[in-house]
Chain A
Amino acid sequence: MDDLDRARRGDANAFDALARSHERGLYAHVARILGPGADAEDVVQDAFVSAWRSLPGFEGTSFKAWLFRIARNRAIDLIRAQKRRSELPLDPPDDPDGDPSWAEPAAVGPDLSDLAAGHEAFAAVEAALALVPVEQRDALLLRDVEGFSYEEIATITVSEIGTVKSRIFRGRLAVRNELVRKGWRGSAG
């Protein structure tokens, strides 16, 4: 019997072990949606409590995907509540038929390997990521950082596969374009 089965049967130690194995990844994801700090920490902690309470009814196979679904839903709800207060839309509406533009690299700029080397590069990528609309960012991080499949992301985000595909592409392109605007020559440079 693994930790998930034992946790389902009410074993608090097994749940503790499961939760600890996902704590950092879950926080990192939520922190990149909400921004690091108390809100992200509270969302993750509440997600764990909610998962513990709902665990007897959990019938899926991926505890990680389920946990991410709970946490990201809470994070998105929090953003929606904040935006509602300021009457701003969560994201610009998805336009699946729209043609996203590709920024042209400058003739001179840092090489990708240079960019990936130091803390400045990470800061630049984090800054570019922060500019991506939240639902695109969410899908992109679930794919590139957490390694979820498109089907899993569709389940986590309660979206169609086509929407997931579009969000990941647009999110990646947005990060790439922002880096190019900062002088990155792209992989061809």
Chain B
Amino acid sequence: MNGMTEHPDLDLSAYLDEALSPGERAAVASHLAGCARCRARLADLRATSRLLAALPAPEPRRSLVPQVGRAPVWLRPVRLLGAIGSGLFVFVFLASAVINSGSSLGGGTTEAERLAEKGQFGAAVNALASDAAAQKAVTAASAAPAAAPAPAAQTSPNRDTSRSAVGTLPGASPVGRADAASTTVPAEPRTAVGSQFGPPPLVFLGLALLFAVAAIVAHRRLRRT
């Protein structure tokens, strides 16, 4: 044994890489000159190092270089509009859902609404007038509960008057007039979406999602630029 009393295993690797100080390097070189075991180990480490260096590099499946400094000018407005639109439509969705559920809980459907749904708008207007007259009569009766009941002969002309004051549209269905006294009918089963004016609430939810997706996509693109 020469130069070193122990095998310089740890230094063999650094010796291979020429990463030792001149003194350390000389000591290892001196040891190697007289130690076949360490020469064999150094050769193994060198061979391993070459094997690693010769490995083919794994390839990415896509380009990984971002388009820095070249974000399209429309990305920021899209992100902003997407975020605002998403919030707005979520609000509208919630509001319309609450309104619809309130309406459903509110009970029956008026005759006018039913007629309007069927496209009989003239009849619907007449029915509305009848509803108004009936409500007026009820209000008057409740306003003077202590008063003597008015003769039927007196109330009937009033109803006719109020009806004739509103008038009847040409082509209006007689159904509206015939059922004027019954202001509401029992509620019919409704779907969750409801049959209110305007689009169903789920449309607003869909729009909110659409805007949110646009905002997220724009945000991700902007993050990578």
CB of B17 within 8 Å of the partner chain: yes
CB A79 to nearest CB in B, in angstroms, measures: 17
Determine the residue in chain B with the shortest Cβ distance to A15.
Answer: B68
> Which of chain B's residues have a CB closer than 8 A to the CB of A140?
52
CB of B223 within 8 Å of the partner chain: yes
Total count of chain B residues near the partner, CB < 8 A: 39
CB B42 to nearest CB in A, in angstroms, measures: 9
Tally of contacts, chain A with chain B, CB under 8 A: 131
Q: A27-B58, A129-B52 are in contact. List 10 more A-B contacts (CB 8 A).
A: A23-B60, A26-B64, A31-B58, A45-B64, A102-B41, A169-B12, A169-B14, A175-B48, A186-B40, A187-B44
Which residues on B are within 8 Å of A, measured CB to CB? 9-10, 12-14, 17, 19, 40-41, 43-66, 68-70, 223-225
Among B12, B19, B66, which residue has its beta carbon within 8 angstroms of that of A149? B19
User: Is there an interface contact between B17 and A27, defined as CB atoms closer than 8 Å?
Assistant: no
CB A164 to nearest CB in B, in angstroms, measures: 9
Per-residue B-contact encoding for A1-35, CB less than 8 Å = 1, 0 else: 00000000010100110011001111110011000
Among A25, A31, A48, A179, which residue has its beta carbon within 8 angstroms of that of B65? A48
Closest 10 CB pairs of A and B: A12-B69, A169-B13, A28-B57, A187-B43, A144-B52, A52-B68, A187-B47, A19-B65, A150-B19, A176-B48
CB of A69 within 8 Å of the partner chain: no
CB of A70 within 8 Å of the partner chain: no
CB of A155 within 8 Å of the partner chain: no
